[in-house]
Structure 1
Amino acid sequence: MGKLTTHVLDATHGCPGAGIALLLYRLDGEQRRLLREVATNADGRCDEPLLQGENLVAGVYELHFHIGDYYRQRGVALPEPAFLDVVVLRVGLSDEGHYHVPLLVSPYSYSTYRGS
Protein backbone atom coordinates (compact mmCIF):
# COMPACT_ATOMS: atom_id res chain seq x y z
CA MET A 1 0.00 0.00 0.00
CA GLY A 2 1.50 3.34 -1.05
CA LYS A 3 1.75 6.43 1.08
CA LEU A 4 3.12 9.98 1.09
CA THR A 5 4.76 11.31 4.24
CA THR A 6 6.93 14.30 5.10
CA HIS A 7 8.82 15.95 7.91
CA VAL A 8 10.45 19.33 8.39
CA LEU A 9 13.74 20.10 10.11
CA ASP A 10 14.61 23.66 11.14
CA ALA A 11 18.30 24.14 10.33
CA THR A 12 18.38 27.58 11.96
CA HIS A 13 17.44 26.34 15.42
CA GLY A 14 18.58 22.71 15.07
CA CYS A 15 15.19 21.20 15.84
CA PRO A 16 12.07 19.76 14.23
CA GLY A 17 9.87 22.30 12.43
CA ALA A 18 6.80 22.12 14.69
CA GLY A 19 3.55 23.85 13.80
CA ILE A 20 4.33 24.50 10.13
CA ALA A 21 1.20 24.83 8.01
CA LEU A 22 1.26 22.45 5.05
CA LEU A 23 -1.14 22.31 2.12
CA LEU A 24 -1.21 19.38 -0.29
CA TYR A 25 -2.54 19.86 -3.81
CA ARG A 26 -3.04 17.53 -6.75
CA LEU A 27 -2.43 19.05 -10.17
CA ASP A 28 -4.71 18.22 -13.07
CA GLY A 29 -3.11 20.06 -15.97
CA GLU A 30 -2.94 23.67 -14.81
CA GLN A 31 -5.68 23.21 -12.21
CA ARG A 32 -4.67 22.80 -8.59
CA ARG A 33 -7.03 20.91 -6.23
CA LEU A 34 -6.52 21.17 -2.46
CA LEU A 35 -6.49 17.71 -0.86
CA ARG A 36 -5.23 18.33 2.69
CA GLU A 37 -4.40 21.15 5.05
CA VAL A 38 -2.42 20.13 8.14
CA ALA A 39 0.27 21.37 10.52
CA THR A 40 3.40 19.53 11.54
CA ASN A 41 3.47 18.10 15.05
CA ALA A 42 6.15 18.58 17.74
CA ASP A 43 8.44 16.17 15.86
CA GLY A 44 8.08 18.16 12.60
CA ARG A 45 5.96 15.38 11.08
CA CYS A 46 2.30 14.97 10.22
CA ASP A 47 0.27 12.76 12.54
CA GLU A 48 -0.72 10.51 9.63
CA PRO A 49 0.34 10.06 6.01
CA LEU A 50 -0.74 12.87 3.68
CA LEU A 51 -1.93 10.25 1.22
CA GLN A 52 -2.25 6.52 1.53
CA GLY A 53 -3.90 3.50 -0.03
CA GLU A 54 -6.45 4.23 -2.74
CA ASN A 55 -6.02 8.01 -2.21
CA LEU A 56 -2.47 7.82 -3.54
CA VAL A 57 -2.81 7.75 -7.31
CA ALA A 58 -0.14 8.39 -9.93
CA GLY A 59 0.11 12.08 -10.72
CA VAL A 60 1.70 15.41 -9.92
CA TYR A 61 1.33 16.91 -6.45
CA GLU A 62 2.48 20.07 -4.70
CA LEU A 63 3.35 20.43 -1.05
CA HIS A 64 3.20 24.05 0.19
CA PHE A 65 5.16 24.59 3.41
CA HIS A 66 4.45 27.96 5.10
CA ILE A 67 7.87 28.51 6.59
CA GLY A 68 7.71 32.32 6.68
CA ASP A 69 4.85 32.17 9.18
CA TYR A 70 6.75 29.55 11.17
CA TYR A 71 9.86 31.74 11.51
CA ARG A 72 7.81 34.85 12.33
CA GLN A 73 6.07 32.92 15.13
CA ARG A 74 9.51 31.93 16.44
CA GLY A 75 10.50 35.61 16.60
CA VAL A 76 12.90 35.57 13.66
CA ALA A 77 13.09 38.98 11.99
CA LEU A 78 12.39 38.47 8.30
CA PRO A 79 12.48 41.07 5.56
CA GLU A 80 9.16 41.98 3.98
CA PRO A 81 8.50 40.31 1.75
CA ALA A 82 10.28 37.28 3.17
CA PHE A 83 12.87 35.71 0.89
CA LEU A 84 11.26 32.29 1.40
CA ASP A 85 7.68 32.58 2.58
CA VAL A 86 6.10 29.44 1.15
CA VAL A 87 8.29 26.58 -0.06
CA VAL A 88 6.54 24.73 -2.88
CA LEU A 89 7.70 21.24 -3.76
CA ARG A 90 6.21 19.74 -6.92
CA VAL A 91 6.60 15.97 -6.95
CA GLY A 92 5.51 13.25 -9.32
CA LEU A 93 4.22 10.03 -7.78
CA SER A 94 4.19 7.14 -10.20
CA ASP A 95 3.50 3.97 -8.24
CA GLU A 96 2.25 2.61 -4.95
CA GLY A 97 5.59 2.92 -3.17
CA HIS A 98 6.32 4.89 -0.03
CA TYR A 99 7.21 8.48 -0.86
CA HIS A 100 8.83 10.34 2.02
CA VAL A 101 9.65 14.00 1.37
CA PRO A 102 11.88 15.52 4.07
CA LEU A 103 12.41 19.29 4.07
CA LEU A 104 15.38 21.01 5.70
CA VAL A 105 14.68 24.75 6.01
CA SER A 106 16.10 28.07 7.08
CA PRO A 107 14.78 31.57 6.30
CA TYR A 108 17.06 31.70 3.24
CA SER A 109 17.44 28.14 1.99
CA TYR A 110 15.89 24.70 1.78
CA SER A 111 16.83 21.20 0.74
CA THR A 112 14.77 18.10 0.01
CA TYR A 113 15.09 14.59 -1.36
CA ARG A 114 13.09 11.38 -1.68
CA GLY A 115 13.61 9.66 1.63
CA SER A 116 12.60 6.22 2.83
Structure 2
Amino acid sequence: MASLSTHVLDTASGRPAAGLRITLESADGSVLAEGLTDDDGRIGDLAADLAVEDHVLRFDTSAWFAAQGIAAFYPEVVVTFAVGDDEHYHVPLLLSPFGYSTYRGS
Protein backbone atom coordinates (compact mmCIF):
# COMPACT_ATOMS: atom_id res chain seq x y z
CA MET A 1 0.00 0.00 0.00
CA ALA A 2 1.05 3.59 -0.61
CA SER A 3 1.87 6.13 2.11
CA LEU A 4 1.18 9.87 2.31
CA SER A 5 2.77 12.96 3.85
CA THR A 6 2.16 16.68 3.42
CA HIS A 7 3.85 20.00 4.16
CA VAL A 8 2.21 23.45 4.25
CA LEU A 9 4.16 26.70 3.93
CA ASP A 10 2.66 30.16 4.36
CA THR A 11 4.38 31.96 1.51
CA ALA A 12 3.10 35.37 2.64
CA SER A 13 5.00 35.13 5.92
CA GLY A 14 7.75 32.80 4.76
CA ARG A 15 6.97 30.42 7.64
CA PRO A 16 5.55 26.91 8.07
CA ALA A 17 1.78 26.72 8.60
CA ALA A 18 1.80 25.08 12.03
CA GLY A 19 -1.49 23.82 13.46
CA LEU A 20 -3.42 23.63 10.17
CA ARG A 21 -6.08 20.89 10.14
CA ILE A 22 -5.94 18.48 7.22
CA THR A 23 -8.44 15.75 6.38
CA LEU A 24 -7.80 12.86 4.01
CA GLU A 25 -10.82 11.35 2.28
CA SER A 26 -11.40 8.54 -0.17
CA ALA A 27 -13.00 9.34 -3.51
CA ASP A 28 -16.44 8.52 -2.05
CA GLY A 29 -16.01 11.08 0.76
CA SER A 30 -15.19 8.69 3.60
CA VAL A 31 -12.73 10.20 6.08
CA LEU A 32 -9.56 8.10 6.17
CA ALA A 33 -7.36 10.26 8.40
CA GLU A 34 -6.99 13.74 9.82
CA GLY A 35 -4.40 15.67 11.70
CA LEU A 36 -2.72 18.99 12.45
CA THR A 37 0.53 20.15 10.93
CA ASP A 38 3.46 20.25 13.35
CA ASP A 39 5.69 23.27 14.11
CA ASP A 40 7.43 22.74 10.76
CA GLY A 41 4.09 22.66 8.88
CA ARG A 42 4.32 18.93 8.27
CA ILE A 43 2.36 15.76 8.76
CA GLY A 44 4.89 13.06 8.02
CA ASP A 45 2.64 10.03 8.19
CA LEU A 46 -0.92 11.04 7.43
CA ALA A 47 -1.69 7.63 5.93
CA ALA A 48 0.26 4.44 5.49
CA ASP A 49 -2.09 2.19 3.55
CA LEU A 50 -3.65 4.13 0.67
CA ALA A 51 -5.54 2.08 -1.89
CA VAL A 52 -4.97 2.54 -5.61
CA GLU A 53 -7.67 5.13 -6.34
CA ASP A 54 -8.31 8.87 -6.16
CA HIS A 55 -8.02 10.60 -2.77
CA VAL A 56 -8.89 14.07 -1.48
CA LEU A 57 -6.92 16.27 0.90
CA ARG A 58 -8.90 19.07 2.58
CA PHE A 59 -6.86 21.88 4.11
CA ASP A 60 -8.90 23.96 6.60
CA THR A 61 -7.41 27.31 5.61
CA SER A 62 -10.33 29.35 6.97
CA ALA A 63 -9.77 28.34 10.59
CA TRP A 64 -6.00 28.55 10.25
CA PHE A 65 -6.00 32.08 8.80
CA ALA A 66 -8.67 33.20 11.31
CA ALA A 67 -6.40 32.03 14.15
CA GLN A 68 -3.67 34.23 12.64
CA GLY A 69 -6.06 37.20 12.52
CA ILE A 70 -5.96 37.23 8.72
CA ALA A 71 -8.93 37.43 6.35
CA ALA A 72 -8.44 34.95 3.51
CA PHE A 73 -10.18 34.43 0.18
CA TYR A 74 -10.15 30.61 0.14
CA PRO A 75 -11.89 29.05 3.16
CA GLU A 76 -10.67 25.61 2.14
CA VAL A 77 -8.14 24.15 -0.25
CA VAL A 78 -9.15 20.81 -1.74
CA VAL A 79 -6.58 18.73 -3.59
CA THR A 80 -7.65 15.57 -5.41
CA PHE A 81 -4.84 13.24 -6.39
CA ALA A 82 -4.49 9.77 -7.85
CA VAL A 83 -2.64 6.93 -6.14
CA GLY A 84 -1.46 4.50 -8.76
CA ASP A 85 1.06 2.28 -7.06
CA ASP A 86 2.68 1.26 -3.79
CA GLU A 87 5.04 4.15 -3.19
CA HIS A 88 5.25 7.23 -1.02
CA TYR A 89 3.19 10.28 -2.01
CA HIS A 90 4.07 13.75 -0.71
CA VAL A 91 1.59 16.58 -1.40
CA PRO A 92 2.96 20.00 -0.38
CA LEU A 93 0.82 23.14 -0.27
CA LEU A 94 2.18 26.66 -0.72
CA LEU A 95 -0.38 28.98 0.82
CA SER A 96 -1.15 32.70 1.04
CA PRO A 97 -4.36 34.57 1.95
CA PHE A 98 -5.28 35.02 -1.72
CA GLY A 99 -3.72 32.08 -3.53
CA TYR A 100 -2.20 28.63 -3.29
CA SER A 101 -0.15 26.14 -5.25
CA THR A 102 0.50 22.43 -4.89
CA TYR A 103 2.60 19.78 -6.57
CA ARG A 104 3.73 16.20 -6.15
CA GLY A 105 6.77 16.26 -3.93
CA SER A 106 9.19 13.55 -2.96
Per the alignment, residue 38 of structure 1 pairs with: 35
TM-score, normalised on structure 2?
Answer: 0.94
Per the alignment, residue 64 of structure 2 pairs with: 70
Q: Percent identity?
A: 42
Per the alignment, residue 11 of structure 1 pairs with: 11
* Matching residue within 43, 46, 49 for 1:50: 46
Greater radius of gyration (CA)? 1
Unaligned runs of 5+ in 1: none
- Contact in 2 for aligned 1:4/1:49 (Cα 8 Å): yes
Residue aligned with 2:63, SS: helix
CA distance in 2: counterparts of 1:68 and 1:33, whole angstroms: 22
Q: Structure 1 segments of 4 or more deviating over 3 A?
A: none
Between the two proteins, the alignment pairs up a number of residues equal to: 106
Residue 89 in structure 1 maps to residue 79 in structure 2: yes
TM-score, normalised on structure 1?
Answer: 0.86
Residue aligned with 1:70, SS: helix
User: 1:2: Cα distance to partner?
Assistant: 3.1
